[in-house]
A and B are shown apart, each in its own frame.
Chain A
Amino acid sequence: MLVKAKGDLQAVSASRLRDGVAVWLSAGHRWMEDVADAGAFTGAALQQALAVAQADSAAGLVVDVYPLDVAVADGRTRPLHVRERMKARGPSVRPDLGKQAVTPAISRAPERAA
């Protein structure tokens, strides 16, 4: 994590261990490949989401867990900082690569065993 999250609404991001793909925790605590589907947490819900993410990190599903500032509009979550916007979309100089180039494949997101 490079950028400290300090806003009211925060999402939780990580990278999938197997392939390094960026993922975000949904409101229902599933790992999603599209940041739009990320849960926007605050207060105790944020602490809970971070705890779930840390547990998934300890279980070897994801690495590099951290919170980030987000806003929500029309039910879609959007990161505020340019770094997190880049992570969510893929290289701006190669629109044919990364998330911007594929439909999010939720089925490929890591799932907890339970």
Chain B
Amino acid sequence: MTHMPRPGAIAAAPDHSPDAAPDRHAGIYRYDDLDREFVFQRVAQFREQVRRRLSGALTEDEFKPLRLMNGVYLQLHAYMLRVAIPYGMLGTTQLRRLAEIGRRWDRGYGHFTTRQNIQFNWPALVDVPDMLHALAEVDMHAIQTSGNCIRNVTTDHFCGAAADEIVDPRVHAEILRQWSTLHPEFSFLPRKFKIAISGTPQDRAAVRTHDIGLIATRDAAGAVGFTVYVGGGQGRSPFLAVKAREFVPEADLLAYLEAVLRVYNQYGRRDNIYKARIKILVHELGAEAFLRRVEEEFARLPRGAHALDPALVEAIRAHFAPPPLERLPERSPAFDLARARNAAFARWTRSNLHPHRQPGHAIATVSLKPVGGIPGDITSDQMEALADLADRFSFGEVRVSHEQNLVLAHVRKDELYALWQGLEAIGLGTANAGLVSDIIACPGLDYCALANTRSIPIAQAIATRFADLDRQHAIGELRIKISGCINACGHHHVGHIGILGVDKKGEEFYQLLLGGDPGPQAELAEITGPGFDAAGIVDAVETVVRTYLDLRGEGERFIDTLRRLGHAPFKEALHGAA
């Protein structure tokens, strides 16, 4: 257990040295001694807190906020530990450690979430300090995965690789992480606070559904800055964030966000948990009045003291230096040949690849949505096998997407066929990224203590109904998102098709929503009409898909057809003419 190599650690065995580690080029932030010491101290603190709780020295009321600050929830069947994966980036040393933790203290698997984290569903409270210690050994922790603080900053899972990227958002995500971690002014906010950053206008991070959403951009002179959105969120009252500023220069990023957070801290409601998020404040004050206060606060802040030092930005950027990609021709004859020979591989390349900025390379999405499987779940064995593949094909790096899939970001086209064969061998080669069976689903009543209904079995039933991959490819891009209650962890408000579980006299019932979009053309979905039971909701999805296929124009995606024709034809097919 304790002899695993860790990035930056000095180990005796030569093959364990950081220079030889297969994940030495993974695009993660490397801890320094100070970071490491802080995390270990925090584990020791929590160990003591658990001891005092078990000895009776702390009551549950005293202990609950402490455990939540360390990612420990009490769920329906057991505790749950939520581990932070900063902006979704993992080295394979870390992934292997997650596999070990799952095997030793959990039930041999983990669940990747829409906030790019991983959750273990079965830890005993007494074991959590050991789990946190094992995480700390690979520079991981569960801090700020819960509680009324600034949570794990999320970003585009294709960052640092996508051809359409303007700025690598990891640099600023990391700056925000360091700024917000234990920031005394922002550790007791009215409610939790979620920030997302996209490095491209092709927003893949759903920024407008966050408390603060940032889109990196450059001004006419080429200087880096951000379009800032404020006040988005899902949950029981969904809002898309409003644009606060078209351009905040990089140097002013922290000052501007500090101003937003101060206004929230001062005026946000603390009397009613359902009205405490910043979205409610923006809505109740009105965007204009809210933004005026932000601008006043921003004007008051001593800018010099808050300016981001370019040297610091450069130092952090160095952590995210691109891996040593080879210079290759764009076309790969080996890739073309494999595609021509193997239809299943060709199909996977159509749905699961994204253009890389470096010629001859591609970004590969590893689907965690095998037909009939549990969205986001992965076994310890699969984690280890995937770590081996990532070492071989993608510089020892794995990313978690908010769509609950994994991403190998830097694969040579020549090697894609070998990668896909490796993925197929471990059940992770499903060719469905972005298609009807690539469903986001929250844990729902199978695990969650807050749930009204199950989500996972609905996802499984829909995926099984559309099991035929050729049919899925013919249907094209269609994003289904399912939540087991109004907290909306499953993003149903921004599903092309959203499904929300509700309680109907003690039994499970499901509402169907249409027309949501996480971005870049963000839109909230609307309820179509009366809900359905578990069997009925699967038929309803089928009805919506058939209606689309009847009505779609040439090359038109589901969401485009819906935008062109409105909801009426779909409502009519579902519920009959009004």
Q: Give chain A's interface residues, CB within 8 Å of chain B.
A: 2-3, 15, 17-22, 57-60, 63-64, 80-83, 86-87, 90-94, 97-99
Contacts and interface: CB of A to CB of B under 8 A. Distances in A.
A86 B74 contact: no
A-B interface, 8 closest residue pairs, ranked by CB to CB distance from nearest: A19-B124, A91-B446, A20-B79, A20-B78, A81-B506, A60-B56, A93-B456, A87-B76
A21 B76 CA distance: 8
Nearest to B443: A91
A111 to B, nearest CB: 15
Nearest to B456: A93
A20 B446 contact: no
Nearest to A80: B506
A22 B77 CA distance: 6
Nearest to A81: B506
Contact of B125 (A18, A86, A91, A93): A18
Interface of B: 53-56, 59-60, 74-79, 107, 122-126, 374, 445-447, 449-454, 456-457, 460, 503, 506-508
B378 to A, nearest CB: 14
Given A2-B449, A22-B76, A82-B506, 10 more contacts: A15-B74, A19-B78, A20-B75, A60-B55, A81-B506, A83-B445, A83-B452, A86-B76, A93-B456, A93-B460
B74 A20 contact: yes
B78 A60 contact: no
Contacts of B53: 17, 60
Given A15-B74, A21-B78, A92 B60 contact: no
B508 A19 contact: no
A77 to B, nearest CB: 16
Contact of B124 (A20, A57, A97, A98): A20
Q: Which of B122, B452, B454, B506 has the most CB of A within 10 A?
A: B506
B55 to A, nearest CB: 8
A100 B201 CA distance: 48
B404 to A, nearest CB: 15
Contacts of A81: 506
Contacts of B75: 20
A64 B74 contact: yes
A47 B77 CA distance: 25
Given A19-B124, A19-B125, A57-B60, A90 B54 contact: no
Contact of A19 (B56, B76, B79, B452): B79
A82 B505 CA distance: 10
> Dominant SS at the B interface?
loop
A92 B457 contact: yes
B111 to A, nearest CB: 11
A74 B534 CA distance: 29
Contact of A60 (B54, B457, B508): B54
A83 B59 CA distance: 27
B80 to A, nearest CB: 8
B54 A18 contact: yes
Contacts of B76: 22, 83, 86-87
B234 to A, nearest CB: 19
Given A15-B74, A19-B124, A86 B446 contact: yes
Contacts of B456: 91, 93
Nearest to A98: B77
A91 B450 contact: no
A15 B76 CA distance: 8
Contacts of A98: 77
A94 B60 CA distance: 30
A45 B54 CA distance: 29
B446 A93 contact: yes
A112 to B, nearest CB: 13
A93 B107 CA distance: 14
Given A2-B450, A86-B76, A86-B446, A97 B126 contact: no
Nearest to A97: B107
A78 to B, nearest CB: 13
A57 B56 CA distance: 10
A58 B507 CA distance: 33
Contacts of A58: 59
Contact of B126 (A19, A21, A59, A80): A19
B359 to A, nearest CB: 43
Contacts of B124: 18-20
Contacts of B60: 17, 57, 63
Contact of B77 (A20, A57, A60): A20
A21 B54 contact: no
A27 to B, nearest CB: 24
Contact of A90 (B56, B77, B457): B77
B56 A18 contact: no
B447 A91 contact: yes
A30 B460 CA distance: 38
Given A20-B74, A20-B125, A21-B78, A86 B457 contact: no
Contacts of A19: 78-79, 124-126
A93 B457 contact: yes
A58 B59 CA distance: 7
A114 to B, nearest CB: 15
Given A60-B53, A60-B56, A92-B446, A82 B78 contact: no
A54 to B, nearest CB: 12
A57 to B, nearest CB: 7
